Structure 1
Amino acid sequence: MKNKLTLFLLIFCLLVSTTVGAQIREFERSTPEAEGVPSGALIALMDSLMALPKTDIHSVMVLRHGKVIAEMYPEPFAPEYRHTMFSCSKTFVGAAIGLAISENRLRLTDRIASFFPDQLPDSISPNLAAMTVRNLLNMTSGVTPDWKMREGRTDWVRGYLGKEIKTPGEHFDYDSMSSYILSAIVQKVTGMKLLDYLRLKLFDPMHITDVSWEVSPEGVNTGGWGVYLQSESLAKLGQLLLNRGMWEGKQLLPADWVDLMMAKQSDTGSFGYGYGYHMWLCEYPGAVRVDGALGQYALIIPDKDMVVVITECSIIDGITQRRLVWNRLLPAVGDEPLTPGKDYKRLLKKQSSYQLPVAQGKANSPLARQYANKPIMLKPNKLGWQSLRLQFKPKEVIMTVTQADGLEYNLPFGYKQWEKTSIDAYPPYSIEAKGRFTGIEGPFYVAGSYAWPSTTTLELKAHYVNWISALNLIFRFDGGDVHLAVKANYSSDFIYLCGQ
């Protein structure tokens, strides 16, 4: 009886883990060759992405015929880590609008002013009165983007509607606040936040449960940014769109709406190849993309029946990454199965061994003992750090961070390897909107690497692996003085937190 009970509990736990907690490895896996793709082309793509300057690749996932044929998560990243997706969020907003339209909750021609009667300016201009849902979806609202507005005020809807407005529908102006207004409209017409509506209609049926979305000071999901989920969940969105809204035999999103999302709805001029409903058209014919700042992509390639997901932090032009897909991968894709060979074995080995660069230098310095455990006071800074202390151990450095709010935590750094820990503090973030991180739960995980490039210089690298950010810290020790320069991976400049 006891053995039967133990077996039952084991089976129950396995069922729970595979149906409730699992968020990765839910797509069927296949060999590239079985799906008509030579492994050598995938190796060339991944090697080229890893070689890009000013770029940290966090994940790559390639699907063909709905099956994953290649994926990599360079150490210290891993498939289970969530990632903030920036403007990839907009495509989720576009899907939600289509769902609401299919339920007769709103129409493309509905006037924006009608949803917010208590947040309108005293005088309503003809252009504000004319602005429609469609104008927000295709980024032709007539509002000149104000990317600082979300940093300076908390009433974002009122602030947006109070802007000077040109004639809607005439000019493309990409603006995250347009997506925010759409999120607020979804909340108005459904009675629930955008995320909760998508959970009901898309996320739960697609088993995307490990997802969060930032919330504005007004209690509205931020819309144009702030989705926080795993790479495989982003791939699920890409596959849903590739399948014209069909998921496991069920039409979750109307096919005609998906067609509209992926069709050209705005001429972007020199700024790309056209814009759909919260999606970008690509230079590769027929391809469209879900696109987020710093290099978050789900590339949807109908003529190849493929989805390619890339997450990264890059400060170079994303055209480079996408052209690697067009030029290194797609020309090799065929319609007939191939026979796996040596390249397939190489691919299996390589995709599990990619690693972001660790700090380079020696493991020790004779100066370490002199500066161990001494407080290093910092200038006021965006990281919110007030002071640091360094502990030096064999092949490990521990940096104790004391924040301005009094919170203290340790970050460990390994020598020639990544050492990971979790923290209760928020990671660095390129977006400085009021209330940022609201709706996003921790803990956050940090991987660290250290080395002494010279006797007087210590380098620390820290990747916030379930976010996007990384920090490069350079300590220079000079006769009792400490100089510290810090650079975030989403910036090209070092900032000096102490010394000159």
Structure 2
Amino acid sequence: MKINLVLLTLCMLVHTSLLAQTNELQRSIPEAEGVPSEAVITLFDSLTALPHTDIHSVIVLRHGKVIGEIYPTPFAPEYRHTMYSCSKTFVGAAVGLAIADNRLRLTDRIVSFFPEQLPDSVSENLSNITVRHLLTMTSGITPDWNMRNVCTNWLSTFLAKPVKTPGVQFEYDSISTYVLSAIIQKVTGMTLLDYLKLKLFNPMNIKEVAWEISPEGIHTGGWGLHIQSESLAKFGLLLLNQGKWKGKQLLSSSWIKQMTSKQMEAGDEDYGYQMWLCDYPGAVRADGALGQYVLIMPKEDMVVVITECTLINGRNQRRLVWNKLLSAIKNQALIPGKAYARLKKKQISYTLPTVQGKKQSPLATAYANRTITLETNRYGWQHLHLLFGPKEVNLKIDDKNGTSHILPFGYKQWLTGTINAYPPYSITPVGSFNGLEKTFHVAGSYAWLPTDDLQLKVHYVDWISALDITFHFNGNNVTLTVKENFSTNETILKGKF
């Protein structure tokens, strides 16, 4: 079909024209850095075999060099990823930079920064909250995770809440980090992202980066960073090397020591400044929901980056790093063998599973190019159109805002395209995606099931989300079952032709 050929050409052009900004870190053979290639293979195989998990990228570094990396198809090095609470560690770094610039102190009281946002009556406990309390998640304000979903004045709403004695109880809260972002903006006259660009990102040549912005015009801080995996690896190396980058001290080594040292007990783990201390001795991490990690192991001189979408406890992934990788490393160079050749082949062979089933069905003729009108739904889809080709299906979506986009699906392969629409998101803050370009990339696979249901799988490859969409046709009616990779729930949508 002509539309499919045009779409495929555009997809290829978009894919190759992405600003790649990759392969800047030095690459090395694992054995040259004292790591058996077999251990790297075992780690990659173990991670990709985890249940209820889509691995999007893994990068292993030792002695400052990349010794292994995978981006299971349809993911690729040039795609950015949303980092959830992994974003917090970057905010922690920004606070350290502002302290070094004499713009901020750990003992500064947060009420001093927002006089116009304070409630009519300021309690003693509220008055006593300091920057350090926000860094350690001990503000004394009970987290309200729904607040960001229902109001636009996050600062004044946060400051108006009851306050227990600060500094006593650890209560993890993304809004505490948001307040730190607001403080950075207040004391520097720059947004959090612009300040990090000036101080860290530009010197490290991290250009492909963005951050969501709140309804108040402040970077969300506790979540919302959108960045490439190799840039995460650069940041991990900066922390590993005590703030030095190519011989230049970008971030104070004393501040990194504070960030990565125990500042507060946090259940069965300890917390530093916007960082977690791991159960593996000496290891620390930046940690985001659904499995976003920058693991830093100073004793072993290693960094491991993982981006994924998982529904299992992240300790499984981290312990694979400890048990499959770290247990095998040596303090001297090794002799490469056949395992390294196997690693090179395997690194480019990992792929997320495509949909399995039949290539064609008689129902394709009956339902091609017909308009499906859907009931109101959380995705904002209003009308759907199925366009069938010999080995591909295109799903045209008209949303409630009057815009349209097309998702491409290949048979036993991933077809990649670009859309001018936002992907599904596991959280729903007011103003989600503000600050990010409304251009995202998708990859899709399809098959007809034995029941003649049509199953589509779409990965939003520069985000985190994936959808399984199953069409069940019954005359002029259609039922869609939609499963999200970040949830165990199903959404049932009813439609009519």
Name the TM-score class by shorter chain: over 0.9
Q: Distance in 1 between matches of 2:404 and 2:128?
A: 52
Choose from 410, 420, 431 the match for 1:424. Answer: 420
Q: Distance in 2 between matches of 1:459 and 1:339?
A: 47
Cross-structure match for 1:369: 365
Q: Distance in 2 between matches of 1:93 and 1:396?
A: 44
CA drift of 1:480 comes to 3.5
SS at match of 1:433: coil
Q: Distance in 1 between matches of 2:412 and 2:228?
A: 27
Q: Distance in 1 between matches of 2:193 and 2:353?
A: 36
Percent identity (aligned): 63
| 1:46-445 to 2 correspondences below 5 Å | 46-270=44-268, 273-445=269-441
Cross-structure match for 2:7: none
Give the letter for the 1:78 counterpart.
A
2:488 corresponds to 1:497: no
Give the letter for the 1:142 counterpart.
G
SS at match of 1:197: helix
2:460 corresponds to 1:464: yes
Q: Distance in 2 between matches of 1:131 and 1:305?
A: 36
CA drift of 1:281 comes to 0.5
Structure 1 stretches (4+) deviating beyond 3 angstroms? none
Q: Deviations over 1:369-406 (max 9, x none)?
A: 11112222222222111121111111111111000011
Indicate conservation of the 8 Å contact 1:485/1:498, yes or no. no
Q: Deviations over 1:304-353 (max 9, x none)?
A: 10000000011111111111001111000110111111111110000101
Cross-structure match for 2:15: none
Gapped runs of 5+ residues in structure 1? 1-19
Cross-structure match for 1:5: none
Give the letter for the 1:250 counterpart.
K
Indicate conservation of the 8 Å contact 2:209/2:227, yes or no. yes
Indicate conservation of the 8 Å contact 2:373/2:495, yes or no. no
Q: Distance in 2 between matches of 1:217 and 1:74?
A: 35
Gapped runs of 5+ residues in structure 2? 1-17
Q: Distance in 2 between matches of 1:372 and 1:284?
A: 55
SS at match of 1:224: coil
SS at match of 1:304: coil
Indicate conservation of the 8 Å contact 2:372/2:495, yes or no. no
CA drift of 1:499 comes to 6.2
Q: Distance in 2 between matches of 1:254 and 1:134?
A: 17
Give the letter for the 1:456 counterpart.
D
Q: Distance in 2 between matches of 1:392 and 1:303?
A: 55
Q: Distance in 2 between matches of 1:275 and 1:62?
A: 24
Indicate conservation of the 8 Å contact 1:143/1:164, yes or no. yes
CA drift of 1:408 comes to 1.0
Q: Deviations over 1:104-156 (max 9, x none)?
A: 11110011111100100111111101100000001001111111101111011
Q: Deviations over 1:422-465 (max 9, x none)?
A: 01111111121111111101421110000012242111000011
CA drift of 1:22 comes to 5.6
Q: TM-score, normalised by structure 1?
A: 0.94
Indicate conservation of the 8 Å contact 1:451/1:460, yes or no. yes
Q: Distance in 1 between matches of 2:483 and 2:158?
A: 33
Q: Distance in 2 between matches of 1:126 and 1:259?
A: 31
Please identify, of 199-208 and 439-448, the stretch whose mean Cα deviation from structure 2 is larger: 439-448
Indicate conservation of the 8 Å contact 2:39/2:328, yes or no. yes
Cross-structure match for 1:454: 450
Distance 1:449 1:22, change over 3 A: closer
Indicate conservation of the 8 Å contact 1:477/1:483, yes or no. yes
Cross-structure match for 2:479: 483
Indicate conservation of the 8 Å contact 1:367/1:455, yes or no. no
Indicate conservation of the 8 Å contact 1:150/1:156, yes or no. yes
Indicate conservation of the 8 Å contact 2:74/2:414, yes or no. yes
> How much is the aligned-residue C-alpha RMSD, in angstroms?
1.2
Indicate conservation of the 8 Å contact 2:444/2:459, yes or no. yes
Indicate conservation of the 8 Å contact 2:20/2:77, yes or no. no
Give the letter for the 1:248 counterpart.
K
CA drift of 1:21 comes to 5.7
Q: Distance in 2 between matches of 1:401 and 1:70?
A: 39
SS at match of 2:323: helix
Q: Distance in 1 between matches of 2:160 and 2:378?
A: 30
Give the letter for the 1:84 counterpart.
T
Give the letter for the 2:430 counterpart.
K
Q: Distance in 1 between matches of 2:19 and 2:357?
A: 41
Indicate conservation of the 8 Å contact 1:138/1:265, yes or no. yes
Cross-structure match for 1:13: none
Indicate conservation of the 8 Å contact 2:375/2:495, yes or no. no
State the number of aligned residues: 479
Q: Distance in 1 between matches of 2:438 and 2:388?
A: 28
Indicate conservation of the 8 Å contact 1:215/1:435, yes or no. yes
CA drift of 1:468 comes to 1.0
Indicate conservation of the 8 Å contact 1:366/1:455, yes or no. no
Q: Distance in 2 between matches of 1:79 and 1:21?
A: 11
Q: Distance in 1 between matches of 2:450 and 2:165?
A: 60
Q: Distance in 2 between matches of 1:327 and 1:222?
A: 35
Indicate conservation of the 8 Å contact 2:20/2:78, yes or no. no
Q: Distance in 1 between matches of 2:434 and 2:474?
A: 41
Give the letter for the 1:314 counterpart.
T
CA drift of 1:481 comes to 2.2
Q: TM-score, normalised by structure 2?
A: 0.95
Q: Distance in 1 between matches of 2:400 and 2:493?
A: 14
Indicate conservation of the 8 Å contact 2:99/2:105, yes or no. yes
SS at match of 1:274: strand
CA drift of 1:467 comes to 1.0
Indicate conservation of the 8 Å contact 1:29/1:69, yes or no. yes
Indicate conservation of the 8 Å contact 1:456/1:478, yes or no. no
Give the letter for the 2:275 counterpart.
M
Q: Distance in 1 between matches of 2:188 and 2:63?
A: 35
Give the letter for the 2:155 counterpart.
V
Q: Distance in 1 between matches of 2:494 and 2:304?
A: 43
